[in-house]
A and B are shown apart, each in its own frame.
Chain A
Amino acid sequence: MNTAFTTEAAAALAGPDWLVERRRSAAARFADAELPSAEEEVWRYSRIGDLDLSSFVPAPEHAPAADVESLLAVAADDALVVVTVDGRVADQRAGSGAATVATPDAEADSALGAVLEAGDDALVSLHDAFASPVEITVPEGADGGDVVVVHQFPTEGVASMPRLVISAGQGSTVSVVEVFTSPDGVRNLSIPVTELIVGRDATLRHASVQVLGDLTWQIARVASTVGQNGNLTSGSAAFGGDYARLRADTVLAGRGAHGDLFAGYFGTGSQLLDFRTFQDHVAPDTTSNLLFKGALGEKGASVYTGLIKIRPDARGSLAFQTNRNLKLSDDAWAESVPNLEIENNEVQCSHASTVGPVDPEQRFYLESRGVPTGRAERLIVKGVFDEVLDALPLGGFEPMAREYLDVDLEKSLP
């Protein structure tokens, strides 16, 4: 395919030598790779076949101006803040916590790529070829405080590659919110990658709020690794985009590592929201608990496929996976495919998935108290989201997520 995503274009981006070389080799891998196809299990039911990279260009090296004041107004005053525009760092300010932010320098002591291997798939290679990474580090034993990263994609026809690497050192704590936003009516593509490295005994809480515009495509990865007795909470509140995909891979790498994984999503219009999860239990006595809940109105659609993998050494592990989908119209569509792959028998695993309308008995209960049908359904759907929105560390962004939820409820249950 002839596209603007050439090795020359990638290598022309400024950066320390090691990063330039990293981009160059990623671009070369991308040039040799085929784009993924819906034939592959992990892309089944996706819209990957509709992706036309020749209609996009790489984001320029310097970010255009963008107004994010209203978005940042809800961030805690003492939060560490990073703003990216079209994937390039546009602004940053220090927080009162111990977390620090850095962009790559000549020293190649970066955690970049520590979780998500280079060459994992063609789109990760594409991302690596054009990304300007941002690294946030919390020192051992420190309270990293709150971190807010706003990713804005204002530009028509641009493909953006935001890269965030968060390292929570041994025994540290930190809470991170990423917000993904773009205007309605602007057709663009973003391929964000977030790496979360949870050190031994560390606690990392991460949430993304995806409120992209109606023509934006997003193909996101979150890749996490949790060390011994480390605690990860990671989740997404996803409302926007035309096609918006999130693949979240969580490796429970150290003994006693724990992961809580959440998503709440609402698809309307002709949206397809696409979620893939991997709970990879490598070490003994690891636990993971996944709860993804969504609603689909109008002609909205969603896909969930998830795999719990218990490796041979992961005895004593507990892993749970639940996906629930409410179909609010006849034209809405949801696919849900949970999977288990267990290579050690001394474990407890379960998975559950449902796709269906609002429970008629619940609706009748509310109606019998005098709540009109549409209002009853709205209350019930809103209630379905509460469990995940309450569990996500959204900080000041929770009201924003709820506003988007209300808009989708209004559209779906007028």
Chain B
Amino acid sequence: MSELMIEGLSATVAGKEILKGVDLTVASGEVHAVMGPNGAGKSTLSYVLAGHPAFTVTGGSVTLDGQDLLGLAAWERARAGLFLAMQYPTEVPGVRLDEMLREAAVAAGRDVDAVTQLLQDEAGKIGFDARFLERPLNVDLSGGEKKRNETVQLATLQPQFAILDEIDSGLDIDALRDVSRRIEALTETGLGVLAITHYRRLLEELRPDMVHVLVDGRIQRSGGPELADELESAGYGEFGTSQN
């Protein structure tokens, strides 16, 4: 059993305070949904956890089984067991998916051939076209293909915790089902998930243990899955903001 613990996390971007003390703990196999209006700091939270250099941590701590993550470079956090599925996966012309994952496997001390095989298996599981494995990363992929790509990588890299930054955006119904079912299955073998989303529909397949409402850089309320239903009908008005 592992634990990702976020305590009092504050962060700025370009001098502007976005996160104002976030507290959240995710354990292995759990799914925590983070919902909130635009501008609440949801994407910032995911980037700060993954170590994006544009964000400055101004307070708090993030630990994985007691190991400080904030002191690690982005790639070391990944090696420690963290994965970020991006809302808008970056196009990297000239770098192939399989090539990138082989480099990651070398850095993690994993068997490179086994990782390559796993990549092919995982692509097959969620209908990610095998020819994309040898094509430049995310280049000329549709929104849905990009999210399948993120999911294939998640399953291949086998992290302990995955942060999903609006993995449901830009997905059609079929892709949403394939992606969320695969991730749900991974939670059954111990993956912990922090799923940032605007919409409840992701959570129909990827069932949350906890739902957190992030508004104005803080978790304002936490509850069970029923909180997602409540937010869907009532919006974020009670938190002093309107959904936009």
| Interface positions of A (Cβ within 8 A of B) | 360-362, 364-373, 375-376, 379-380, 382-387
Selected from A368, A379, A383, the residue in CB contact (under 8 A) with B74 is: A368
Known: A367-B73, A370-B79. A383 touches B157 (CB 8 A): no
Contact with A along B172-208 (1 / 0, CB 8 A): 0000000000000000000000000000000000000
Selected from A360, A368, A387, the residue in CB contact (under 8 A) with B84 is: A368
Question: What is the chain B residue whose CB lies nearest that of A362?
Answer: B92
Besides A368-B78, A380-B95, 17 more A-B contacts (Cβ < 8 Å) are A365-B90, A367-B51, A367-B78, A368-B77, A368-B86, A369-B83, A369-B101, A369-B104, A369-B157, A370-B157, A371-B104, A373-B75, A375-B107, A376-B103, A380-B92, A380-B94, A384-B94
Selected from A362, A371, A383, A384, the residue in CB contact (under 8 A) with B107 is: A371
Alpha-carbon gap, A387 to B50, bound state (A):
30
CB<8 Å pairs between A and B, sample of 9: A361-B90, A365-B89, A365-B137, A369-B104, A370-B108, A373-B75, A383-B92, A383-B95, A384-B94
Alpha-carbon gap, A25 to B77, bound state (A):
70
* Contact of B94 with A366 in the complex, beta carbons under 8 Å: no
From A373, A376, A386, A387, residue with most partner B Cβ within 10 Å:
A376
* Contact of A368 with B51 in the complex, beta carbons under 8 Å: yes
Alpha-carbon gap, A101 to B50, bound state (A):
61
B39 lies within 8 A of chain A by Cβ: no
Selected from A364, A367, A383, the residue in CB contact (under 8 A) with B93 is: A383
Question: What is the chain A residue whose CB lies nearest that of B89?
Answer: A365
Inter-chain contacts of A365 with B (CB < 8 A): 86, 89-90, 92, 137
* Contact of A368 with B101 in the complex, beta carbons under 8 Å: no
From B51, B54, B101, B103, residue with most partner A Cβ within 10 Å:
B103
Question: What is the chain B residue whose CB lies nearest that of A361?
Answer: B90
Inter-chain contacts of A364 with B (CB < 8 A): 52-53, 74, 90
Question: What is the chain A residue whose CB lies nearest that of B84?
Answer: A368
* Contact of A369 with B92 in the complex, beta carbons under 8 Å: no
Inter-chain contacts of B108 with A (CB < 8 A): 370
Question: What is the chain A residue whose CB lies nearest that of B136?
Answer: A383
Inter-chain contacts of A367 with B (CB < 8 A): 51, 73-75, 78
Q: How far is the CB of B237 from chain A (nearest CB, A)?
A: 35
* B62-110 contacts to A (CB < 8 Å): 73-75, 77-79, 83-84, 86, 89-95, 99-101, 103-104, 106-108
Question: What is the chain B residue whose CB lies nearest that of A375?
Answer: B103
Q: How far is the CB of A63 from chain B (nearest CB, A)?
A: 40
Inter-chain contacts of B91 with A (CB < 8 A): 362
Inter-chain contacts of A387 with B (CB < 8 A): 93-94
Alpha-carbon gap, A385 to B95, bound state (A):
11
B160 lies within 8 A of chain A by Cβ: no
B61 lies within 8 A of chain A by Cβ: no
Question: What is the chain A residue whose CB lies nearest that of B47?
Answer: A364
Inter-chain contacts of B53 with A (CB < 8 A): 360, 364
B44 lies within 8 A of chain A by Cβ: no
Inter-chain contacts of A384 with B (CB < 8 A): 93-94
From B83, B93, B157, residue with most partner A Cβ within 10 Å:
B93
* Contact of B103 with A371 in the complex, beta carbons under 8 Å: yes
Alpha-carbon gap, A385 to B93, bound state (A):
10
Alpha-carbon gap, A383 to B95, bound state (A):
5
B153 lies within 8 A of chain A by Cβ: yes
From A365, A370, A382, A387, residue with most partner B Cβ within 10 Å:
A370
Q: How far is the CB of A332 from chain B (nearest CB, A)?
A: 20
Inter-chain contacts of B86 with A (CB < 8 A): 365, 368
Of all A-B residue pairs in the complex, the 10 with the closest CB atoms, nearest first, are A383-B94, A370-B78, A370-B104, A367-B74, A365-B90, A367-B75, A383-B95, A371-B103, A386-B94, A362-B92
Known: A372-B75, A373-B75, A379-B100. A366 touches B107 (CB 8 A): no
* Contact of B153 with A369 in the complex, beta carbons under 8 Å: yes
* Contact of B92 with A373 in the complex, beta carbons under 8 Å: no
Alpha-carbon gap, A382 to B78, bound state (A):
23
Question: What is the chain A residue whose CB lies nearest that of B74?
Answer: A367
Inter-chain contacts of B157 with A (CB < 8 A): 369-370
From B73, B89, B95, residue with most partner A Cβ within 10 Å:
B95
Inter-chain contacts of A370 with B (CB < 8 A): 75, 78-79, 104, 107-108, 157
* Contact of A371 with B100 in the complex, beta carbons under 8 Å: yes
Question: What is the chain B residue whose CB lies nearest that of A371?
Answer: B103
Question: What is the chain B residue whose CB lies nearest that of A360?
Answer: B53
* B9-63 contacts to A (CB < 8 Å): 50-54
* B99-152 contacts to A (CB < 8 Å): 99-101, 103-104, 106-108, 136-137
Alpha-carbon gap, A387 to B93, bound state (A):
9
Alpha-carbon gap, A372 to B108, bound state (A):
10
Alpha-carbon gap, A155 to B51, bound state (A):
53
Question: What is the chain A residue whose CB lies nearest that of B163?
Answer: A368
Selected from A361, A369, A375, A383, the residue in CB contact (under 8 A) with B78 is: A369
Question: What is the chain B residue whose CB lies nearest that of A293?
Answer: B94
Q: How far is the CB of A370 from chain B (nearest CB, A)?
A: 4
Inter-chain contacts of A379 with B (CB < 8 A): 95, 99-100, 103
Inter-chain contacts of B83 with A (CB < 8 A): 368-369
Inter-chain contacts of B93 with A (CB < 8 A): 383-384, 387
